[in-house]
Structure 1
Amino acid sequence: MVLSRFMPKNPQFSVLFTQQARIAAQTAQALCTLLQDYTEVEAKVQAIRDLEHEADRLSKQLVEVLSQSFIVPFDREDIIQLIEHLDDVVDDIEEAARKLVLYRVRQPSPQAATLAEIVRQQAEVLAQGMPLLESAGRYGELRQLMEQVRQLEDQGDQVSDEVQVGLYDGVTDVPGMVAAMRMGEILALLESAIDQAQRVAKTVENVMLKNA
């Protein structure tokens, strides 16, 4: 018997997780906007960093709510993993954006915009699913949403394979090699963000399995 099913729960969890996923989607959208219109780069990257700070604030708030809650809607370990993985999505996006400035990238590769759009869609789907975490009667709908996240990760894997094949095409000198390596690092961060979103989905699936 799961005691938490029969005792009051703290509604802040689903609300804050939804907000955290929406911040991830906004951060990815901000990166998409930058990559589609690669102007005023430093200002746009600063806006992304501001969103990352808001994500950190939400993560800390979730940890505080968890520490103050005697009854929680599902396992504390799963709550902690959700907090960490959602925060990691935003951290990876922000780090990719920061390195566009740090490495003085003149023009990002087209795959960067594609990967940013994939993680944006993942975060939007996660934001749709978070309010359903405490509604066992809607777990069928939630499973479908998490499957969408998984399918988007598959798309990201395909793009990543294309990157590996063509990253150094046409590179004939040392500066070109350095630029390609740096872009590869940025793309790897976006791939990591996609993987982190999938880890969120996997944790949600674990919650459903334990509470169905």
Structure 2
Amino acid sequence: MLFGKLLPREGNFFELFNAHGVAIVNGSRAFLSMIQNYSDVAQRERYAGQVDDFEHEADKVTAEVNRLLHKTFITPIDREQIHSLINTMDDILDMLQDASETMALYDVRELTPEVTRLSELAVKCCERVAHGVSLLSQLSKHSVAAATVKTCQEISQLESDADREMRSAMSRLFREQEDIRELIKLKAIYEQLESITDKCEDVANLIEGIVLENS
């Protein structure tokens, strides 16, 4: 009996997934605010700092999940699924931070409307990721499992929207941008932003796999 009491409760993993999901949403919204206020250097730096803060917060959650995996005898879902899910979620915030840092390192002075639209799609994807993760603890309910799959499908649709937006942005960039340096900078940023939605879809695929095995 004492041994059972000493084991971490299964719910801890779901609580940590939710905490990470909140950090992802907050980080993506801070990133979008940075984009929307990009011309104001002070505001830009403030929001970029928030992206960094949420990335560090998520790193701590990821480390805690991996620590618990080594201590927990019985996990609520497959151990490999837990490991893959939390680390893929963590990649999302890493990519947001990378995109923020790239803009600073490349000394990007002015952003295009396409950057804003791709950032908005990234935020929507991140919000759906957090929602999908929040449902994992209730997969035994058929209605919740169905809602989780629907959320994953919404993420896939948003990723497709971002892919189309990036193709359009690239087409316009190569047609209209005459400064080769600006072209190279913006091309890199477009690709990074689209990769964020790709990573969200990776998370959605992992969640769908968990639904299939546990509902």
Q: Tell me, yes or no, if structure 1 residue 159 matches structure 2 residue 165.
A: yes
Establish whether residue 33 from structure 1 lines up as the match of residue 33 from structure 2: yes
| Equivalent residue, structure 2, for 1:5 | none
Q: Which has the higher contact order (CA 8 A, sep 6+)?
A: 1
In the alignment, the residues of structure 2 paired with residue 125 and residue 204 of structure 1 have an alpha-carbon distance, to the nearest angstrom, of 12
Q: Does 1:75 align with 2:74?
A: no
In the alignment, structure 1 residue 123 sits paired with structure 2 residue 129: no
Distance change (3 Å), C-alpha of 1:11 and 1:168: same
Q: In the alignment, which residue of structure 1 is the partner of 2:15?
A: 15
Q: Within 2, Cα distance between the matches of 1:53 and 1:44?
A: 14
Deviates more, 1:128-137 or 1:138-147: 128-137
What is the CA–CA distance in structure 1 between the aligned matches of 2:48 and 2:109, rounded to whole Å?
14
Matches within 5 A, 1:176-187: 176-187=179-190
Q: Percent identity?
A: 27
Show the counterpart of 1:90: 93
For 1:178, give the aligned amino acid. Answer: R
Distance 1:57 1:76 in 2: 19
> Offset at 1:207?
0.6
Aligned to 1:58: 61
Q: CA deviation at 1:91?
A: 0.6
Q: Distance in 2 between matches of 1:67 and 1:90?
A: 24
Cα distance in 2, alignment partners of residues 70 and 23 from structure 1: 27
For the 8 Å contact 2:24–2:130, the answer to whether it is kept is no
Out of 103, 106, 112, the position equivalent to 2:106 is 103
Distance in 1 of aligned mates of 2:159 and 2:14: 23
Distance 1:48 1:156 in 2: 21
Structure 1 runs, 4 residues or longer, greater than 6 Å off: none
Alpha-carbon distance, 1:153 to partner: 0.8
State TM-score, norm by structure 1.
Answer: 0.90
Give ranges in structure 1 of 5+ residues lacking alignment. 1-7
Q: CA deviation at 1:93?
A: 0.7
**TM-score computed with the length of structure 2 as normaliser:** 0.89
Amino acid aligned to 1:153:
E
Structure 2: segments with no counterpart, 5+ residues: 1-7
- Kindly state the Cα deviation for residue 57 of structure 1 after the two structures are TM-superposed: 1.0
